[in-house]
Structures are given as C-alpha cells and as structure tokens.
Amino acid sequence: MLSMQNISKIYRTDVVQTHALRDFSLEVKEGEFVAVMGPSGSGKTTFLNIAGLLESFDTGSYFLDGEDVSNLNDDGRSHIRNERIGFIFQSFNLIPDLNVFDNVDVPLRYRGMKSAERAKRIQAALETVGLASRMKHIPAQLSGGQQQRVAIARALAGEPRILFADEPTGNLDSLMARQVLDLLEGINSNGTTIVMVTHDPELARRAHRSVHVLDGQVMDLKAVPDAPKRETGAKA
C-alpha cells in the first residue's frame, strides 16, 4: 500500500541545511494499522507530510497504492490526496465558519460528485462516528472529542484507501481519546490502512506494529507479527 525507499528531505534556509529525513524507507501493507513513533524533531511530521503528498522530497522513491507518486505534479497529488487519502489532525482542523455537514462535504466537493451522492455519503460517515444528529452545528458548539469525530467522518466520507492520523488524540482527554481510537480500529477492521504518527506508547500499542523514527531515519524494522488477513475494499 505504501512503499518508501531511501527518501531524503532537506530543508534549506539562508543559513543552515536541516536533514529532516535521510535514507528513510518504510513499507506498509494493505489493511495494516501502523504507528510511527519518535521524539519531537525526529522527522515524524516530515514523514507524514511526504507520505500524505503534502510535501515533495528530494531523493528516493515512493509508491502509494501501487502507483509511483515520486514525480507527480501538484494537480496529480491533489487528485490522489482527494480520492485515496484521508487525514486526521491533532488539532482537528475543522473550518470554523462551516457547519458539520459542510465540513465533511469539503473533500467531496473537490471530487465533483452529484449533490445526492454527497449527501448520502456525509450521512453515512456521520452515522459511523455517531454525530448524524449534529449536522447543523458549527465546530465551536461541539466538544473536542466530537470535533475529532467530525474530522474522522470527513476523512471517511471520501472512502480513502489509506488514512494518515497525526497525534489524533493529542488534544483530547483519555475518555474521548479511547472513543476516537475505538473508531479508528473499527475503520481499520473494515479494511482501511491507517498510518498514525504519535509519541504516545499507549496509543502505539493499539496498532499492529510500531515504527520508530530518530534523526530522520527508521530505527528498527520489526517483522510484522501477524499480518491481517481481511477482505479489502470494505465500506466504512
């Protein structure tokens, strides 16, 4: 599903060069739930930006869902982000002016879907996260956990092949964090690959496996204990 080989990324400013990633390689199989761990400054976020096609890299190769995405132009990358990738952020990143329905609608809009189809998907996604009754609320009227569930619904509505989560529970209390994690596990069990960046070992333990990143490199590539054998392409 995700295959990175010898990726490196250097940030240049007038004064210094920072090697954010060097010789970074990672394989994630379809249906996996992988936690990427590491201290702050280790390159986790850069990895996520590159993996999520938010940022380009300098050298190396990257295959996502069987497609070489190393040399895609901006439009091509936007297209893949929109159709195959879902994002969940630590700070939820809902658009404050739009209500729940419209927030979930955002990625679907860029896909050029018919209005009826969009409404159906939004309804389904919000039911999955248990917020179908809050469609007309704006984010400020929701709790942190609810906001993150809306964000998950937004990621799900596009029926992505892979979900990237960046500290998805970082801004939540433990009860809400557990609900969110349960949700993610459920999504994963329906066949969606999940890559989660976190520095919380508790969280990482819920994943199938953990990858440790330090100084822009993967430290240990443990063998996958028991690769999940589930049907692929299941609906969320």
Options 20-28, 29-37, 110-118, 185-193: segment touching other proteins (CB under 8 A)? 110-118
In the stretch 167-206, what mask flags binding to other proteins with x, by CB under 8 A?
A: ----------------------------------------
Amino acid identity for residue 222 in this structure: K
Rule CB under 8 A: say whether 91 interacts with other proteins: yes
Interaction of residue 216 with other proteins, rule CB under 8 A: no
Q: Contacting other proteins (CB under 8 A), which of 15, 40, 71, 112?
A: 112
Residue 107 makes contact with other proteins by CB under 8 A: yes
83 touching other proteins, by CB under 8 A: yes
Q: Which of these segments, 1-9, 19-27, 91-99, 129-137, binds other proteins (CB under 8 A)?
A: 91-99
CB of 47 to other proteins, least distance (A): 12
Count CA atoms within 13 Å of residue 215 on its CB side: 2
Which one of 15, 16, 75, 222 is in contact with other proteins (CB under 8 A)? 75
Answer yes or no whether residue 125 interacts with other proteins by CB under 8 A.
no
Closest to other proteins by CB, 29 or 56: 56
Q: Which residues of this chain interact with other proteins, rule CB under 8 A?
A: 49, 52, 54-55, 74-75, 78-83, 85, 87, 89-98, 106-107, 109-112, 154, 158
